[in-house]
Amino acid sequence: MMKNVLELLEHTAGRIPNKIAAIDEHGSMSFAELLRATRAAGSYLASGRELFNKPVPVLTEKSINSLVAFFAVLYAGGYYVPMDTEQPFSSAEVRISILKPSIIICDRDRAEQAKRLLPNGDVIIIEEILDTPMNSALLSDIRSKKIDTDPVYTNFTSGSTGTPKGVVIAHRSVIEFIDEFTQIFGIDETDTLANQAPLDFDVSVKDIYSCLKTGATILLIPRRLFSAPVQLLDFICEHEVTNMTWAVSALCLISTFHGLDYKTPNKLKRVLYSGEIMPKKHLDAWMTALPDTVFVNLYGPTEITCNCCYHIIDRNRQYDNGIPIGKAFPNERIYLLSKDGEIITEPDVTGEICVSGSSVGLGYFCDFAKSDEVFIQNPANSAYHERIYKTGDLGYYNADGEIFFKGRADFQIKYMGHRLELQGLERQIEEIGSVFSCCCVFDEQAPKLFAYYTGEEEEKELRIKLRDKLPAWMIPSKIRRLPSFPLTKNGKIDRAALLLLGKRRKNDKG
Protein backbone atom coordinates (compact mmCIF):
# COMPACT_ATOMS: atom_id res chain seq x y z
CA MET A 1 0.00 0.00 0.00
CA MET A 2 1.35 3.40 -0.99
CA LYS A 3 1.96 5.71 1.99
CA ASN A 4 3.94 8.62 0.56
CA VAL A 5 3.49 10.71 -2.59
CA LEU A 6 7.22 10.32 -3.29
CA GLU A 7 6.47 6.73 -4.23
CA LEU A 8 4.62 8.10 -7.26
CA LEU A 9 7.78 9.84 -8.45
CA GLU A 10 10.02 6.88 -7.66
CA HIS A 11 7.79 4.38 -9.43
CA THR A 12 7.45 6.50 -12.58
CA ALA A 13 11.16 7.37 -12.67
CA GLY A 14 11.92 3.65 -12.49
CA ARG A 15 9.42 2.82 -15.24
CA ILE A 16 10.13 5.59 -17.76
CA PRO A 17 13.29 7.37 -16.55
CA ASN A 18 13.98 9.34 -19.73
CA LYS A 19 10.43 10.59 -20.25
CA ILE A 20 10.09 14.37 -19.82
CA ALA A 21 8.46 15.08 -16.47
CA ALA A 22 8.27 18.88 -16.52
CA ILE A 23 8.78 21.81 -18.87
CA ASP A 24 9.09 25.48 -17.98
CA GLU A 25 10.13 28.48 -20.06
CA HIS A 26 13.79 27.77 -19.29
CA GLY A 27 14.02 24.07 -20.14
CA SER A 28 12.86 20.59 -19.23
CA MET A 29 13.69 17.72 -16.88
CA SER A 30 13.14 13.97 -17.17
CA PHE A 31 11.69 11.86 -14.39
CA ALA A 32 15.12 10.40 -13.63
CA GLU A 33 16.66 13.88 -13.46
CA LEU A 34 13.81 15.12 -11.28
CA LEU A 35 14.26 12.21 -8.88
CA ARG A 36 18.02 12.73 -8.72
CA ALA A 37 17.72 16.47 -8.06
CA THR A 38 15.06 16.11 -5.37
CA ARG A 39 16.96 13.39 -3.52
CA ALA A 40 20.13 15.49 -3.63
CA ALA A 41 18.36 18.60 -2.36
CA GLY A 42 16.48 16.50 0.19
CA SER A 43 19.78 15.15 1.50
CA TYR A 44 20.99 18.70 2.04
CA LEU A 45 17.82 19.72 3.87
CA ALA A 46 17.79 16.63 6.08
CA SER A 47 21.42 16.93 7.13
CA GLY A 48 21.65 18.50 10.58
CA ARG A 49 18.07 19.78 10.55
CA GLU A 50 14.95 18.51 12.29
CA LEU A 51 12.21 18.98 9.73
CA PHE A 52 10.10 15.92 10.52
CA ASN A 53 6.43 16.96 10.03
CA LYS A 54 7.45 20.62 10.08
CA PRO A 55 6.22 23.23 7.55
CA VAL A 56 8.77 24.58 5.10
CA PRO A 57 7.78 27.65 3.04
CA VAL A 58 8.95 27.68 -0.58
CA LEU A 59 9.34 31.11 -2.21
CA THR A 60 10.14 30.51 -5.88
CA GLU A 61 8.82 31.65 -9.22
CA LYS A 62 6.78 28.89 -10.86
CA SER A 63 9.42 26.62 -12.36
CA ILE A 64 10.86 23.12 -12.35
CA ASN A 65 12.98 24.15 -9.38
CA SER A 66 9.76 24.78 -7.45
CA LEU A 67 8.84 21.12 -7.91
CA VAL A 68 12.34 20.07 -6.87
CA ALA A 69 12.01 22.15 -3.71
CA PHE A 70 8.60 20.66 -2.88
CA PHE A 71 9.77 17.07 -3.18
CA ALA A 72 13.08 17.79 -1.45
CA VAL A 73 11.14 19.00 1.59
CA LEU A 74 9.19 15.73 1.57
CA TYR A 75 12.38 13.68 1.37
CA ALA A 76 13.67 15.61 4.39
CA GLY A 77 10.54 14.62 6.33
CA GLY A 78 8.75 17.96 6.28
CA TYR A 79 5.85 19.32 4.28
CA TYR A 80 5.99 22.18 1.85
CA VAL A 81 4.08 25.48 1.89
CA PRO A 82 4.09 27.24 -1.50
CA MET A 83 4.34 31.02 -1.16
CA ASP A 84 2.94 33.49 -3.67
CA THR A 85 5.86 35.49 -5.08
CA GLU A 86 3.59 38.39 -6.09
CA GLN A 87 1.70 38.89 -2.83
CA PRO A 88 2.43 42.01 -0.78
CA PHE A 89 5.32 41.60 1.63
CA SER A 90 2.99 42.19 4.58
CA SER A 91 0.80 39.26 3.48
CA ALA A 92 3.82 36.98 3.26
CA GLU A 93 4.87 38.15 6.73
CA VAL A 94 1.50 37.13 8.16
CA ARG A 95 1.87 33.62 6.74
CA ILE A 96 5.41 33.29 8.06
CA SER A 97 4.26 34.48 11.50
CA ILE A 98 1.63 31.71 11.50
CA LEU A 99 4.02 28.99 10.33
CA LYS A 100 7.03 29.99 12.48
CA PRO A 101 9.37 27.94 10.26
CA SER A 102 13.03 27.31 10.97
CA ILE A 103 13.99 27.47 7.29
CA ILE A 104 12.71 28.94 4.03
CA ILE A 105 13.61 27.79 0.52
CA CYS A 106 13.84 30.35 -2.28
CA ASP A 107 15.37 30.89 -5.70
CA ARG A 108 18.26 33.30 -6.26
CA ASP A 109 16.01 36.14 -7.39
CA ARG A 110 14.12 36.06 -4.09
CA ALA A 111 16.97 35.54 -1.64
CA GLU A 112 16.78 39.07 -0.22
CA GLN A 113 13.02 38.86 0.19
CA ALA A 114 13.39 35.50 1.95
CA LYS A 115 15.99 36.95 4.33
CA ARG A 116 13.62 39.79 5.21
CA LEU A 117 10.82 37.31 5.86
CA LEU A 118 12.94 35.04 8.05
CA PRO A 119 15.82 37.17 9.39
CA ASN A 120 16.72 34.70 12.14
CA GLY A 121 16.15 31.53 10.16
CA ASP A 122 17.97 29.46 7.59
CA VAL A 123 17.52 30.78 4.03
CA ILE A 124 18.29 28.08 1.47
CA ILE A 125 18.67 28.89 -2.22
CA ILE A 126 17.42 25.93 -4.24
CA GLU A 127 19.88 26.38 -7.13
CA GLU A 128 22.81 26.00 -4.73
CA ILE A 129 21.87 22.59 -3.30
CA LEU A 130 21.01 20.58 -6.42
CA ASP A 131 24.43 18.91 -6.58
CA THR A 132 24.57 17.84 -2.93
CA PRO A 133 25.92 14.27 -2.51
CA MET A 134 23.01 11.95 -1.93
CA ASN A 135 22.62 10.46 1.55
CA SER A 136 20.45 7.43 0.78
CA ALA A 137 20.72 5.99 4.30
CA LEU A 138 19.46 9.22 5.88
CA LEU A 139 16.58 9.53 3.42
CA SER A 140 15.59 5.88 3.96
CA ASP A 141 15.60 6.33 7.72
CA ILE A 142 13.31 9.35 7.45
CA ARG A 143 10.96 7.53 5.08
CA SER A 144 10.66 4.54 7.39
CA LYS A 145 9.15 6.79 10.06
CA LYS A 146 6.53 8.42 7.83
CA ILE A 147 2.87 7.36 7.72
CA ASP A 148 0.13 8.18 5.24
CA THR A 149 -1.67 10.63 7.53
CA ASP A 150 1.41 12.86 7.80
CA PRO A 151 1.07 16.24 6.04
CA VAL A 152 2.28 16.64 2.47
CA TYR A 153 1.53 20.35 1.95
CA THR A 154 -0.25 23.37 3.35
CA ASN A 155 -2.05 25.90 1.16
CA PHE A 156 -3.28 29.17 2.56
CA THR A 157 -6.83 30.26 1.87
CA SER A 158 -8.31 33.54 3.03
CA GLY A 159 -12.00 32.71 3.20
CA SER A 160 -14.60 35.42 3.62
CA THR A 161 -12.84 37.14 6.54
CA GLY A 162 -9.56 37.83 4.76
CA THR A 163 -7.63 36.12 7.56
CA PRO A 164 -5.31 33.49 6.03
CA LYS A 165 -5.88 29.90 7.09
CA GLY A 166 -3.33 27.19 6.36
CA VAL A 167 -5.12 24.08 5.10
CA VAL A 168 -3.10 20.96 5.96
CA ILE A 169 -3.46 18.00 3.58
CA ALA A 170 -2.16 14.45 4.16
CA HIS A 171 -0.24 12.11 1.84
CA ARG A 172 -3.11 9.61 1.85
CA SER A 173 -5.58 12.22 0.65
CA VAL A 174 -3.46 13.17 -2.36
CA ILE A 175 -2.62 9.56 -3.25
CA GLU A 176 -6.23 8.40 -3.20
CA PHE A 177 -7.64 11.44 -4.98
CA ILE A 178 -5.06 11.39 -7.78
CA ASP A 179 -5.57 7.66 -8.28
CA GLU A 180 -9.30 8.20 -8.91
CA PHE A 181 -8.83 11.47 -10.82
CA THR A 182 -6.41 10.02 -13.37
CA GLN A 183 -8.47 6.87 -13.85
CA ILE A 184 -11.79 8.64 -14.37
CA PHE A 185 -10.42 11.09 -16.93
CA GLY A 186 -7.99 8.74 -18.63
CA ILE A 187 -4.79 10.71 -18.02
CA ASP A 188 -1.68 8.76 -19.05
CA GLU A 189 1.96 9.17 -20.05
CA THR A 190 1.04 10.46 -23.53
CA ASP A 191 -0.55 13.58 -22.03
CA THR A 192 0.87 17.07 -21.64
CA LEU A 193 -0.87 18.96 -18.83
CA ALA A 194 -0.91 22.75 -19.11
CA ASN A 195 -0.54 24.12 -15.59
CA GLN A 196 -2.41 27.42 -15.27
CA ALA A 197 -2.84 27.66 -11.51
CA PRO A 198 -0.25 29.25 -9.23
CA LEU A 199 1.61 26.57 -7.29
CA ASP A 200 0.19 27.89 -4.01
CA PHE A 201 -3.32 27.15 -5.29
CA ASP A 202 -4.54 23.57 -4.96
CA VAL A 203 -5.64 23.27 -8.61
CA SER A 204 -1.92 22.80 -9.31
CA VAL A 205 -1.93 19.68 -7.10
CA LYS A 206 -3.94 17.89 -9.79
CA ASP A 207 -1.39 18.82 -12.45
CA ILE A 208 1.69 17.96 -10.39
CA TYR A 209 0.60 14.62 -9.00
CA SER A 210 -1.25 13.44 -12.11
CA CYS A 211 2.12 13.68 -13.86
CA LEU A 212 3.94 11.81 -11.09
CA LYS A 213 1.24 9.12 -11.07
CA THR A 214 0.96 8.50 -14.81
CA GLY A 215 4.16 9.72 -16.41
CA ALA A 216 2.43 12.62 -18.16
CA THR A 217 4.35 15.86 -18.69
CA ILE A 218 3.51 19.04 -16.78
CA LEU A 219 3.91 22.29 -18.71
CA LEU A 220 4.43 25.17 -16.27
CA ILE A 221 2.94 28.21 -17.99
CA PRO A 222 4.53 31.56 -17.03
CA ARG A 223 2.09 33.81 -15.20
CA ARG A 224 2.74 36.73 -17.55
CA LEU A 225 1.14 34.88 -20.47
CA PHE A 226 -2.26 35.08 -18.82
CA SER A 227 -2.38 38.78 -19.69
CA ALA A 228 -1.52 38.02 -23.33
CA PRO A 229 -4.10 35.62 -24.84
CA VAL A 230 -2.40 35.39 -28.24
CA GLN A 231 0.97 34.45 -26.76
CA LEU A 232 -0.77 32.08 -24.36
CA LEU A 233 -2.45 30.20 -27.21
CA ASP A 234 0.83 30.10 -29.14
CA PHE A 235 2.54 28.56 -26.10
CA ILE A 236 -0.21 25.95 -25.60
CA CYS A 237 -0.28 24.94 -29.26
CA GLU A 238 3.52 24.86 -29.56
CA HIS A 239 3.71 22.30 -26.74
CA GLU A 240 0.74 20.27 -28.05
CA VAL A 241 -1.16 20.42 -24.78
CA THR A 242 -3.71 17.63 -24.30
CA ASN A 243 -5.15 18.53 -20.88
CA MET A 244 -6.18 21.81 -19.26
CA THR A 245 -7.37 21.89 -15.65
CA TRP A 246 -7.99 25.60 -15.35
CA ALA A 247 -9.87 28.24 -13.43
CA VAL A 248 -13.04 29.43 -15.16
CA SER A 249 -11.73 32.99 -15.46
CA ALA A 250 -8.60 31.82 -17.31
CA LEU A 251 -10.73 30.06 -19.92
CA CYS A 252 -12.99 33.12 -20.15
CA LEU A 253 -9.96 35.33 -20.77
CA ILE A 254 -9.35 33.49 -24.04
CA SER A 255 -12.98 33.34 -25.14
CA THR A 256 -13.71 36.98 -24.19
CA PHE A 257 -11.00 38.21 -26.53
CA HIS A 258 -12.03 35.69 -29.23
CA GLY A 259 -8.69 33.94 -28.95
CA LEU A 260 -10.13 30.71 -30.30
CA ASP A 261 -10.75 32.51 -33.61
CA TYR A 262 -7.00 33.15 -33.78
CA LYS A 263 -5.78 29.67 -32.96
CA THR A 264 -7.39 26.45 -31.76
CA PRO A 265 -5.47 24.09 -29.42
CA ASN A 266 -6.77 21.08 -31.33
CA LYS A 267 -4.64 18.52 -29.48
CA LEU A 268 -6.78 19.01 -26.37
CA LYS A 269 -8.44 15.81 -25.18
CA ARG A 270 -10.08 17.34 -22.12
CA VAL A 271 -10.78 20.67 -20.46
CA LEU A 272 -11.61 20.58 -16.75
CA TYR A 273 -12.67 23.77 -15.03
CA SER A 274 -13.47 24.87 -11.49
CA GLY A 275 -13.45 27.78 -9.07
CA GLU A 276 -16.59 29.53 -10.28
CA ILE A 277 -19.71 28.88 -12.35
CA MET A 278 -18.75 28.75 -16.03
CA PRO A 279 -20.88 31.23 -18.04
CA LYS A 280 -22.77 29.21 -20.64
CA LYS A 281 -21.75 31.49 -23.51
CA HIS A 282 -18.08 30.97 -22.78
CA LEU A 283 -18.51 27.21 -22.44
CA ASP A 284 -20.38 27.14 -25.76
CA ALA A 285 -17.54 29.05 -27.44
CA TRP A 286 -14.98 26.52 -26.22
CA MET A 287 -17.12 23.52 -27.10
CA THR A 288 -17.82 24.86 -30.58
CA ALA A 289 -14.11 25.40 -31.22
CA LEU A 290 -13.22 21.95 -29.83
CA PRO A 291 -15.99 19.55 -30.93
CA ASP A 292 -14.09 16.40 -29.95
CA THR A 293 -12.83 17.59 -26.55
CA VAL A 294 -14.32 16.40 -23.26
CA PHE A 295 -15.39 19.18 -20.88
CA VAL A 296 -15.76 18.62 -17.15
CA ASN A 297 -17.21 20.80 -14.40
CA LEU A 298 -15.28 20.23 -11.16
CA TYR A 299 -16.22 21.34 -7.67
CA GLY A 300 -14.42 21.33 -4.36
CA PRO A 301 -12.77 23.65 -1.83
CA THR A 302 -9.12 23.55 -0.76
CA GLU A 303 -10.06 21.81 2.50
CA ILE A 304 -11.02 18.54 0.80
CA THR A 305 -7.97 17.91 -1.46
CA CYS A 306 -8.77 19.44 -4.84
CA ASN A 307 -12.28 18.27 -5.71
CA CYS A 308 -15.15 16.22 -4.37
CA CYS A 309 -17.61 16.37 -7.29
CA TYR A 310 -17.49 16.27 -11.07
CA HIS A 311 -19.86 16.41 -14.02
CA ILE A 312 -18.86 15.48 -17.56
CA ILE A 313 -20.65 17.81 -19.97
CA ASP A 314 -23.19 16.10 -22.22
CA ARG A 315 -23.17 17.87 -25.59
CA ASN A 316 -26.72 16.73 -26.29
CA ARG A 317 -28.16 18.20 -23.08
CA GLN A 318 -29.65 21.70 -22.97
CA TYR A 319 -28.79 22.52 -19.32
CA ASP A 320 -31.72 24.93 -19.06
CA ASN A 321 -31.44 24.85 -15.26
CA GLY A 322 -27.67 25.25 -15.22
CA ILE A 323 -24.80 22.79 -15.15
CA PRO A 324 -24.65 20.49 -12.11
CA ILE A 325 -21.53 19.90 -10.09
CA GLY A 326 -22.59 16.31 -10.55
CA LYS A 327 -21.65 13.40 -8.35
CA ALA A 328 -19.01 12.60 -5.77
CA PHE A 329 -15.62 11.17 -6.62
CA PRO A 330 -15.14 7.58 -5.42
CA ASN A 331 -14.35 7.28 -1.70
CA GLU A 332 -15.99 10.63 -1.02
CA ARG A 333 -19.51 11.30 0.20
CA ILE A 334 -21.57 14.46 -0.17
CA TYR A 335 -24.23 15.61 2.29
CA LEU A 336 -26.61 18.53 2.16
CA LEU A 337 -27.29 19.88 5.64
CA SER A 338 -30.21 22.10 6.61
CA LYS A 339 -29.72 25.04 8.97
CA ASP A 340 -30.92 22.72 11.74
CA GLY A 341 -28.25 20.14 10.93
CA GLU A 342 -30.65 17.70 9.29
CA ILE A 343 -29.60 15.65 6.25
CA ILE A 344 -31.51 16.75 3.13
CA THR A 345 -32.38 14.02 0.62
CA GLU A 346 -35.39 15.39 -1.26
CA PRO A 347 -34.97 17.38 -4.52
CA ASP A 348 -35.06 21.18 -4.84
CA VAL A 349 -34.35 21.82 -1.15
CA THR A 350 -31.30 24.00 -0.50
CA GLY A 351 -28.71 22.96 2.06
CA GLU A 352 -25.05 23.43 2.90
CA ILE A 353 -22.70 21.14 0.96
CA CYS A 354 -20.66 18.93 3.32
CA VAL A 355 -18.04 16.32 2.48
CA SER A 356 -16.68 13.19 4.15
CA GLY A 357 -14.08 10.66 3.08
CA SER A 358 -10.33 10.26 2.80
CA SER A 359 -9.99 13.55 0.94
CA VAL A 360 -10.99 15.68 3.94
CA GLY A 361 -8.04 17.75 5.14
CA LEU A 362 -6.37 17.54 8.54
CA GLY A 363 -7.61 21.00 9.52
CA TYR A 364 -6.16 24.50 9.71
CA PHE A 365 -2.56 24.95 10.81
CA CYS A 366 -2.44 26.10 14.45
CA ASP A 367 -6.11 27.11 14.41
CA PHE A 368 -8.05 24.48 16.32
CA ALA A 369 -10.96 26.81 17.04
CA LYS A 370 -11.62 27.52 13.38
CA SER A 371 -11.02 23.87 12.49
CA ASP A 372 -13.63 22.77 15.02
CA GLU A 373 -16.18 25.11 13.44
CA VAL A 374 -16.06 23.51 9.99
CA PHE A 375 -14.48 20.06 10.46
CA ILE A 376 -17.32 18.59 12.49
CA GLN A 377 -18.86 15.31 13.57
CA ASN A 378 -21.30 13.99 10.99
CA PRO A 379 -24.71 14.81 12.52
CA ALA A 380 -26.19 11.74 10.82
CA ASN A 381 -23.75 9.42 12.62
CA SER A 382 -24.27 8.86 16.34
CA ALA A 383 -22.38 5.55 16.46
CA TYR A 384 -18.73 6.56 15.97
CA HIS A 385 -16.51 9.54 15.18
CA GLU A 386 -16.77 10.64 11.54
CA ARG A 387 -15.41 14.00 10.43
CA ILE A 388 -17.10 15.95 7.69
CA TYR A 389 -16.19 19.33 6.26
CA LYS A 390 -18.77 22.11 6.03
CA THR A 391 -17.96 23.99 2.83
CA GLY A 392 -20.08 27.09 3.38
CA ASP A 393 -21.48 26.51 -0.12
CA LEU A 394 -25.15 25.95 -0.86
CA GLY A 395 -26.54 23.28 -3.14
CA TYR A 396 -29.57 21.19 -3.97
CA TYR A 397 -30.48 17.92 -5.68
CA ASN A 398 -32.52 17.73 -8.85
CA ALA A 399 -34.99 14.90 -9.48
CA ASP A 400 -32.17 12.73 -10.88
CA GLY A 401 -30.04 13.11 -7.76
CA GLU A 402 -27.48 15.42 -9.36
CA ILE A 403 -26.08 18.16 -7.13
CA PHE A 404 -26.34 21.78 -8.24
CA PHE A 405 -24.24 24.58 -6.79
CA LYS A 406 -26.36 27.51 -5.61
CA GLY A 407 -23.69 29.89 -4.37
CA ARG A 408 -21.92 30.75 -1.16
CA ALA A 409 -23.96 30.96 2.00
CA ASP A 410 -22.35 34.36 2.54
CA PHE A 411 -23.46 35.49 -0.97
CA GLN A 412 -27.09 35.48 0.19
CA ILE A 413 -28.15 39.04 0.98
CA LYS A 414 -31.20 40.90 2.26
CA TYR A 415 -32.04 43.61 -0.28
CA MET A 416 -35.14 45.80 -0.60
CA GLY A 417 -36.86 43.57 1.96
CA HIS A 418 -36.17 40.40 -0.04
CA ARG A 419 -33.64 37.61 0.28
CA LEU A 420 -31.46 37.47 -2.85
CA GLU A 421 -28.76 35.07 -4.04
CA LEU A 422 -26.12 37.09 -5.88
CA GLN A 423 -24.94 34.24 -8.08
CA GLY A 424 -28.50 33.48 -9.13
CA LEU A 425 -28.89 37.12 -10.20
CA GLU A 426 -25.62 36.91 -12.13
CA ARG A 427 -26.87 33.92 -14.11
CA GLN A 428 -30.07 35.77 -15.04
CA ILE A 429 -28.14 38.79 -16.29
CA GLU A 430 -25.83 36.52 -18.31
CA GLU A 431 -28.86 35.13 -20.14
CA ILE A 432 -29.24 38.47 -21.92
CA GLY A 433 -27.84 38.20 -25.43
CA SER A 434 -24.71 40.34 -25.53
CA VAL A 435 -23.61 39.92 -21.91
CA PHE A 436 -20.61 37.59 -21.67
CA SER A 437 -20.05 37.43 -17.90
CA CYS A 438 -21.53 39.14 -14.85
CA CYS A 439 -20.52 39.63 -11.22
CA CYS A 440 -22.74 41.24 -8.58
CA VAL A 441 -21.52 42.66 -5.27
CA PHE A 442 -23.42 44.20 -2.36
CA ASP A 443 -22.42 47.19 -0.26
CA GLU A 444 -24.19 46.41 3.00
CA GLN A 445 -23.55 49.84 4.53
CA ALA A 446 -25.11 51.84 1.65
CA PRO A 447 -27.03 49.52 0.96
CA LYS A 448 -26.32 49.29 -2.78
CA LEU A 449 -26.29 46.41 -5.23
CA PHE A 450 -23.72 46.67 -8.03
CA ALA A 451 -23.69 44.63 -11.24
CA TYR A 452 -20.51 44.51 -13.31
CA TYR A 453 -20.41 42.76 -16.65
CA THR A 454 -18.34 42.18 -19.77
CA GLY A 455 -19.82 42.08 -23.24
CA GLU A 456 -21.20 44.24 -26.02
CA GLU A 457 -24.48 45.27 -24.37
CA GLU A 458 -24.69 49.00 -23.58
CA GLU A 459 -25.39 49.85 -19.94
CA LYS A 460 -28.64 51.72 -20.67
CA GLU A 461 -29.91 48.96 -22.94
CA LEU A 462 -29.10 46.33 -20.34
CA ARG A 463 -31.07 48.18 -17.68
CA ILE A 464 -34.07 48.39 -20.02
CA LYS A 465 -33.91 44.66 -20.72
CA LEU A 466 -33.59 43.88 -17.01
CA ARG A 467 -36.78 45.85 -16.33
CA ASP A 468 -38.59 43.48 -18.69
CA LYS A 469 -36.99 40.42 -17.13
CA LEU A 470 -36.75 41.01 -13.37
CA PRO A 471 -38.95 42.43 -10.60
CA ALA A 472 -38.08 46.04 -9.79
CA TRP A 473 -36.53 45.24 -6.40
CA MET A 474 -34.09 42.80 -8.02
CA ILE A 475 -32.56 45.27 -10.49
CA PRO A 476 -29.09 46.42 -9.32
CA SER A 477 -28.65 49.99 -8.13
CA LYS A 478 -25.65 50.45 -10.40
CA ILE A 479 -24.81 48.63 -13.63
CA ARG A 480 -21.39 49.03 -15.20
CA ARG A 481 -19.65 47.44 -18.15
CA LEU A 482 -15.95 46.56 -17.78
CA PRO A 483 -13.41 45.49 -20.41
CA SER A 484 -12.43 42.64 -18.08
CA PHE A 485 -12.81 41.62 -14.44
CA PRO A 486 -10.10 42.10 -11.81
CA LEU A 487 -8.86 38.69 -10.72
CA THR A 488 -7.40 37.26 -7.55
CA LYS A 489 -4.04 35.51 -7.78
CA ASN A 490 -5.94 32.21 -8.01
CA GLY A 491 -7.75 33.34 -11.13
CA LYS A 492 -11.15 33.99 -9.56
CA ILE A 493 -13.09 37.23 -10.00
CA ASP A 494 -11.93 39.63 -7.28
CA ARG A 495 -15.26 40.57 -5.69
CA ALA A 496 -13.56 42.68 -3.02
CA ALA A 497 -11.94 44.84 -5.71
CA LEU A 498 -15.30 45.28 -7.45
CA LEU A 499 -16.96 46.29 -4.19
CA LEU A 500 -14.21 48.84 -3.58
CA LEU A 501 -14.68 50.15 -7.13
CA GLY A 502 -18.39 50.67 -6.46
CA LYS A 503 -17.71 52.51 -3.22
CA ARG A 504 -15.13 54.77 -4.89
CA ARG A 505 -17.54 55.76 -7.66
CA LYS A 506 -20.19 56.54 -5.05
CA ASN A 507 -17.74 58.70 -3.06
CA ASP A 508 -16.49 60.48 -6.19
CA LYS A 509 -20.06 61.52 -6.98
CA GLY A 510 -20.75 62.44 -3.37
Q: Is 363 left (phi over 0), alpha (psi -120 to 50) or beta?
A: left
Q: Look at residue 117 and give its three-state secondary structure.
A: helix
pLDDT of residue 160: 46
Q: Which residues does residue 311 pair with via DSSP β-bridges, in sequence order?
A: 297
What pLDDT sits at residue 348? 95
Q: pLDDT tens for residues 354-365?
A: 999 999 999 999
277-298 per-position pLDDT tens digit: 888 889 999 999 999 999 999 9
Confidence of residue 510 (pLDDT cuts 50, 70, 90): very low
Instruction: Check residue 33 and give its pLDDT.
Output: 99
Distances (CA, A) of 181 to 188, 206, 245, 273, 359: 11, 8, 12, 14, 12
What three-state secondary structure class fits 97?
helix
pLDDT at position 506, please?
57
What does the pLDDT read at residue 185? 99
Strand pairing category for 217-220 and 412-415: unpaired
Please give the span between the terminal C-alpha atoms of the chain, in angstroms, as a whole number: 66
Q: What is the pLDDT of residue 508?
A: 54
Q: The CATH number of 6-220 is which of 3.30.70.580, 3.40.50.12780, 1.25.40.80, 2.60.40.1930?
A: 3.40.50.12780
CATH level 3 topology of 416-509: GMP Synthetase; Chain A, domain 3 (3.30.300)
46-52 average pLDDT score: 96
Tell me the pLDDT tens digit for each residue of 446-460: 788 999 999 999 999
User: Ranked by mean pLDDT, which of 119-128, 274-283, 405-414 comes out on top?
Assistant: 119-128
Mean per-residue pLDDT for 71-95?
A: 94
Tell me the average pLDDT across 392-401: 94
**Phi and psi torsions of 411, nearest 5°:** -100, 5
Q: Kindly list the domain boundaries of the chain, sorted by start residue.
A: 6-220, 330-408, 416-509
CATH code of the domain made up of 330-408: 2.30.38.10
For residue 401, pLDDT over 70 is answered with yes
More confident residue, 445 or 127: 127
Which strand (E) or helix (H) includes residue 396?
strand 387-397
Quote the Cα angle for 244-274-265, to 5°.
25
What are the angstrom distances between the C-alpha of 201 and each of 156, 208, 340, 374, 491?
8, 12, 33, 20, 10
The pLDDT confidence band at residue 157, using thresholds 50, 70 and 90, is confident
DSSP symbols for 472-506 = GGGS-SEEEE-SS--B-TTSSB-HHHHHHHHHHHH
pLDDT for the residue 164: 86
pLDDT, the chain, mean:
93
Mean pLDDT value across residues 481-501 = 87
Residue 122 has pLDDT above 80, yes or no: yes
- pLDDT at residue 413, as a whole number: 77
Residues 6+ apart with CB under 8 A from 407: 393, 394, 421, 422, 423, 424
- The pLDDT tens digits for 5-32 are 999 999 999 999 999 999 999 999 999 9
As a whole-number percent, the residues of the chain with pLDDT over 70 amount to 97
